[in-house]
Amino acid sequence: MNKLLAITVLIVVLALEAESFRMPRQAEEEKGTIASVVDTLKFYYDMSVDTASGYVETIKDYKLEEKAKNLYDETVSAVSTYAGIFNDQIYHIFYSQDSS
């Protein structure tokens, strides 16, 4: 019986000691108006940057740069051909040899 009483007292003392070592909860610091506005702006900025990055990645997947370059090259080729033909026609209009 003495051992049971000693063990019970020891457990109670240890439980009280353990409770006294608990860390008190720290109350969350309330944010001021400026801090909450800055946090909101930062959130929307990050969200817009992420959205824009997603759009850029989608555009890169479409390979629009390559298609635009090919279109430009084909257009330059066609225009230079027709410009050469037009140049020859103008030249022959002004410098044609009269066969008479």
For the chain, the domains span: 54-100
- Do 4 and 12 form a contact (C-beta atoms < 8 A)? no
Q: Per residue in 66-90, pLDDT tens? A: 888 899 999 999 999 999 999 999 9
Q: Per residue in 17-71, pLDDT tens? A: 655 555 555 555 667 888 888 889 999 999 999 999 888 888 777 887 888 889 9
Distances in whole angstroms, Cα of residue 40 to Cα of each of 13, 16, 46, 51, 52:
49, 45, 10, 17, 18
**Distance, CA of 52 to chain centre:** 6
> pTM for the full model?
0.37
Distance CA 42, CA 35 (A): 10
In this structure, what DSSP letter does residue 100 have? -
